[in-house]
Amino acid sequence: MSSEQVAEHYNAVKEVGVEKRTESRIFYMRNFNNWVKSMLINEILGHLRQDGVQFPRVLDIGCGKGGDLRKWDIARVSSVTMTDIADVSVEQAKGRYEEMKDRNRRNFFFPAEFIVADSTKDDLMEKYANKMPFDISSCQFSLHYSFCDEQSARTYIRNAVGNLKPGGFFIGTLPDANRIVWAARQGNGMFKNAVCSITFENTEQLLNEQLPHFGAKFHFTLDEQVNCPEFLAHFSLLQKILVDEFDMDLVFVRQFPDAAKKWMASREGRELASKMRALEKYPPFPGQNPSGEADEYGYAEEQLKKMNEDGNKQKYIECLSKSEWEAVCMYLVFAFRKRKPEPEK
């Protein structure tokens, strides 16, 4: 599987509107993933603010169609660099940004840069118009593609964290290699439920041998959509590379269920979840909020009001079907922080 094939695959994935999305069998899972990403960003913003960084500069690597742009807007970033290997996706992200800019009701709207690049091969540093270091590098559901071979993974990691400020964060979401291997071994080489399936390219190796550090290929289908082949990214290996070679410290790694438990215990987490939940039951009218996400400018307020009038106070997680929940359990969320130089004595 070459990088070109990954780009081809993602370029061909159609942008679906909010209405169609509500019909998907993994609708709640998608919203749950968005909630996890929002809460992750929130937690990191808290650390940065304590350090006096109010308006962080962000790199979104493997940004896809720009699904996190709204989150960056809410996070009051000073700028965002969006980069992905799939040129059509980057173009769509740019279109989404322009739309948001037009609808913006504030004086300031953050500047953004859009770069088509293969982060397993190119040097992103050469491509930035503004080479100032970042406060946050965010890599959502993307880093594991680079674990096809060692050189690709190392180049991707360097691109992700090589231009971070001391004290800056590397955050992301990843398929949980341990959990995936466990589930596939339990099923004698394959895992399958109503919404997802996992198969390994080399079943013999999965069942009888140690899996390689790089190039452990598997196929993950979600909602019957065949995805391009993915690779196990062993978290302890990622951690070792970041700690030993890039001056990073692990802040946390959590499996999605643990992350949900932690963030649902906070008022902020529950409020955001109920806002998103309101959008599920009362999707916005077409054109009202194309990203389909709750935001703080009132797009979801109408829906939230209706939800409360209906007395619909169901808990967010209860909406996930058992199969969606099993799929959610296959992921983890992490944060690393770039070490600051020791103060001189």
By beta carbon distance, the residue nearest ligand SAM is 64
What is the arrangement of strands in the sheet containing 164-175, beginning at the earlier edge strand? 112-116, 79-84, 57-61, 134-140, 164-175, 331-338, 248-255
Q: Is the Cβ of residue 120 or residue 291 nearer to ligand SAM in the bound state? A: 120
Alpha helices in the chain (DSSP H): 3-12, 18-23, 27-50, 69-74, 87-103, 150-161, 177-186, 203-208, 235-245, 256-264, 267-281, 301-309, 322-328
Q: Is the Cβ of residue 120 or residue 304 nearer to ligand SAM in the bound state? A: 120
By rule CB under 6 A, what count of residues binds ligand SAM?
A: 20
- Cα pseudo-dihedral 272, 277, 278, 279, rounded to 10: 100
Tokens of 185: 């071994």
Applying CB under 6 A, which of residues 29, 41, 59, 86 lies at the interface with ligand SAM? 86
Q: How far is the CB of 67 from ligand SAM (least distance, A)?
A: 4
Applying CB under 6 A, which of residues 67, 175, 269, 283 lies at the interface with ligand SAM? 67
User: Which of 71-79, 142-150, 185-193, 327-335 is the region at the interface with ligand SAM (rule: CB under 6 A)?
Assistant: 142-150
For the chain, the distance separating the N- and C-terminal CA atoms, rounded to the nearest angstrom, is 52
Count of C-beta atoms within a 10 Å radius of residue 69 = 25
Residue 120 found at the interface with ligand SAM (CB under 6 A): yes
Applying CB under 6 A, which of residues 64, 168, 175, 283 lies at the interface with ligand SAM? 64
Q: Is the Cβ of residue 141 or residue 235 nearer to ligand SAM in the bound state? A: 141
Q: How far is the CB of 120 from ligand SAM (least distance, A)?
A: 4
Q: Is the Cβ of residue 228 or residue 237 nearer to ligand SAM in the bound state? A: 228
Q: Determine whether the annotation assigns residue 314 to a binding site.
A: no
Q: How far is the CB of 155 from ligand SAM (least distance, A)?
A: 9
CA 152 vs. chain centroid, Å, equals: 20
User: Which of 17-25, 80-88, 161-169, 320-328 is the region at the interface with ligand SAM (rule: CB under 6 A)?
Assistant: 80-88
Query: How long a stretch of residues is the chain?
Result: 345
Taking the C-alpha atoms of residue 24 and residue 318, their distance in angstroms, rounded to an integer, is 17
Q: Is the Cβ of residue 115 or residue 181 nearer to ligand SAM in the bound state? A: 115
- What residues are paired with 79 via a beta bridge? 57
Residue 291 found at the interface with ligand SAM (CB under 6 A): no
Q: How far is the CB of 139 from ligand SAM (least distance, A)?
A: 7
Whose tokens are 């409360």? That residue is 308
Nearest to 136 by CA among 83, 101, 108, 172: 172
Q: Cβ distance 233 to 314 under 8 Å?
A: no
Q: Determine whether the annotation assigns residue 84 to a binding site.
A: yes
Binding residues: 33-34, 37, 62, 84, 118, 140, 145
Which residues of this chain interact with ligand SAM, rule CB under 6 A?
Answer: 3, 6-7, 10, 62-64, 67, 84-86, 89, 118-120, 140-142, 145-146
